[in-house]
């Protein structure tokens, strides 16, 4: 009896060693998103699972609140701290409000990184941007300007008013507007909170308040769908062009029906993959997040951290009539 138990233990041990796992439990990494039910984050979660499979010793906890608010994310993070996860990779609804709770997580030995929408430097070890912020800001204006040779009024329908990523892109867009797109007049910026109903109301409000509006720019995959649906339902196809950042699988129908000429985005699967990969390698101390560090991200490649420990991935990609069909099958 004793012998066979010892044999069984030896067998279990060699299996663990063979798996490269040396007794240790898997690395538990929480992929915390702005809100659940958002197709963009579901695509990122697919990438997260892909990374977990390749790394072989990761359990991904895909989680987030139902509403895209900082308060709701704080609750989620407190639960993850109590659960003793090894790492948190978060897309933040507010870069400052989350700092205290994320500091608490780091004090307890949890690795914290932000991705997509950043946390202020004090609340994370590194931040991964999907692309260069200035380039995204310019892209969202250009997408509208390309179809407005005579210029005209445009408005922005954003996500939450506290969202780090959208606020940075809008700021960058406003900066280059006068110099590069002097004929484009930005008349308003409104916030749909990455909530379909609120985004719909805000888009309707824009059309009512600005009868000469030529384009709605929504740098959010939730807002852009809502705006295109509103323009379609209002019979304004051809009068108001909807553009911004859109997930091809959700947005193809609006390129098809002409309510939008073109939109842009990056690969959300690669983004989620990278977030898990980096959180893992920092958590297991394979690499250290410090200015100038070159961090390798499996099949995605490599990024270099700047002096705020932030890095950016690839340039945004434009989707229009010619290619949206192909990309709609991927994400
Ligand atoms: C929404 C979210 C996300 C943003 C994309 C483009 O899904 O606001 O943070 O990166 O749009």
Q: Give per-residue pLDDT as tens, 97-156.
A: 999 999 999 999 999 999 999 999 999 999 999 999 999 999 999 999 999 999 999 999
- 139 & 261 share domain: yes
Residues contacting residue 231 through CB under 8 Å, at least 6 positions apart? 203, 207, 216, 237, 240, 242, 259
**Measuring from atom 4 of ligand 1, which residue has the nearest CA?**
220
Share of the chain above pLDDT 70, in %: 93
In a domain, 329, yes or no: no
- Is there a contact between 220 and 245 (Cβ–Cβ < 8 Å)? yes
pLDDT at 15 over 80: no
Domain of 76, in residue numbers: 2-130+268-314
Q: What is the CA radius of gyration of the chain?
A: 22
The whole-number average pLDDT for the span 218-230 is 99
**Measuring from atom 8 of ligand 1, which residue has the nearest CA?**
220
List pLDDT tens digits, range 311-320.
999 999 999 9
Burial class (CB in 10 A: 0-12, 13-18, 19+), 226: buried
**Measuring from atom 10 of ligand 1, which residue has the nearest CA?**
116
pLDDT at 13 over 80: no
Helical H runs in the chain?
2-18, 39-55, 70-82, 99-107, 133-145, 164-180, 196-209, 221-233, 248-256, 268-283, 324-328
pLDDT at 3 over 60: no
Share of the chain above pLDDT 90, in %: 92
Tell me the CA–centroid distance for residue 15 and ligand 1, in Å. Answer: 41
- Is there a contact between 77 and 52 (Cβ–Cβ < 8 Å)? no
In a domain, 326, yes or no: no
In a domain, 153, yes or no: yes
Total domain count, the chain: 2
pLDDT at 223 over 50: yes
The whole-number average pLDDT for the span 43-70 is 98
C-alpha 280/C-alpha 46 separation (Å) is: 16
Ligand 1 pocket residue status of 158, Cβ below 6 Å = no
List pLDDT tens digits, range 161-182.
999 999 999 999 999 999 999 9
Ligand 1 pocket residue status of 116, Cβ below 6 Å = yes
In a domain, 331, yes or no: no
Tell me the CA–centroid distance for residue 194 and ligand 1, in Å. Answer: 8
Q: Torsions phi, psi of 290, nearest 5?
A: -150, 155
Short-list 86, 43, 41, CA closest to 65 = 41
pLDDT of residue 133: 98
> What CATH number did the domain enclosing 53 receive?
3.40.50.2300
Ligand 1 pocket residue status of 164, Cβ below 6 Å = no
pLDDT at 20 over 60: no
- Cβ neighbours, 10 Å, residue 10: 10
pLDDT of residue 12: 52
pLDDT of residue 25: 86
Residue 68 alpha carbon, nearest atom of ligand 1: 8
In a domain, 22, yes or no: yes
- 174 & 292 share domain: no
**Measuring from atom 3 of ligand 1, which residue has the nearest CA?**
220
- 30 & 102 share domain: yes
- 73 & 181 share domain: no
- 210 & 243 share domain: yes
The whole-number average pLDDT for the span 82-94 is 98
**Measuring from atom 11 of ligand 1, which residue has the nearest CA?**
220
Per-residue confidence band for 9, with pLDDT thresholds at 50, 70 and 90: low
C-alpha 202/C-alpha 35 separation (Å) is: 19
- Is there a contact between 222 and 159 (Cβ–Cβ < 8 Å)? yes
- Written as one string, the DSSP assignment of 220-231 is SHHHHHHHHHHH
pLDDT at 276 over 90: yes
Residue 220 alpha carbon, nearest atom of ligand 1: 11
- 180 & 126 share domain: no
Ligand 1 pocket residue status of 221, Cβ below 6 Å = yes
Burial class (CB in 10 A: 0-12, 13-18, 19+), 41: buried
């Amino acid at each position: 009896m004793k012998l066979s138990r010892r044999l069984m233990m030896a067998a279990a041990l060699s299996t663990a060693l063979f798996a490269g796992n040396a007794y240790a439990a898997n690395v538990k990494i929480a992929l915390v998103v702005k809100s659940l039910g958002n197709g963009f984050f579901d695509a990122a979660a697919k990438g997260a699972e892909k990374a977990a499979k390749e790394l072989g010793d990761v359990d991904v906890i895909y989680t987030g609140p139902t509403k895209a608010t900082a308060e709701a994310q704080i609750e989620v993070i407190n639960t993850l701290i109590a659960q003793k996860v090894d790492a948190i990779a978060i897309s933040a609804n507010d870069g400052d409000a989350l700092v205290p709770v994320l500091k608490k997580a780091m004090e307890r030995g949890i690795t914290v990184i932000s991705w997509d929408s950043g946390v202020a430097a004090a609340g994370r070890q590194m931040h991964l941007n999907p692309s260069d912020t200035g380039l995204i800001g310019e892209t969202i204006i250009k997408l509208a300007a390309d179809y407005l040779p005579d210029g005209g009024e445009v408005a922005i329908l954003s996500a939450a008013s506290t969202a780090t990523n959208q606020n940075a892109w809008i700021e960058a867009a406003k900066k280059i507007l006068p110099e590069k797109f002097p004929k484009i007049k930005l008349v308003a910026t409104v916030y749909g909170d990455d909530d379909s109903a609120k985004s719909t109301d805000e888009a309707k409000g824009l059309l009512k308040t600005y009868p000469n509006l030529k384009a709605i720019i929504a740098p959010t995959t939730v807002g852009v769908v809502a705006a295109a649906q509103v323009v379609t339902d209002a019979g304004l196809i051809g009068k108001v062009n909807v553009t911004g950042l859109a997930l091809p699988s959700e947005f193809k129908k609006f390129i098809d029906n002409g309510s939008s000429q073109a939109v842009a985005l990056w690969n959300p699967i690669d983004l989620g993959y990278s977030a898990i990969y980096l959180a893992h390698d920092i958590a297991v101390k394979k690499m250290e997040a410090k200015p100038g560090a070159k961090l390798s991200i499996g099949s995605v490649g490599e990024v270099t951290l700047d002096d705020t420990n932030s890095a950016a991935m690839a340039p945004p990609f434009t989707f229009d009539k010619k290619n949206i069909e192909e990309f709609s099958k991927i994400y």
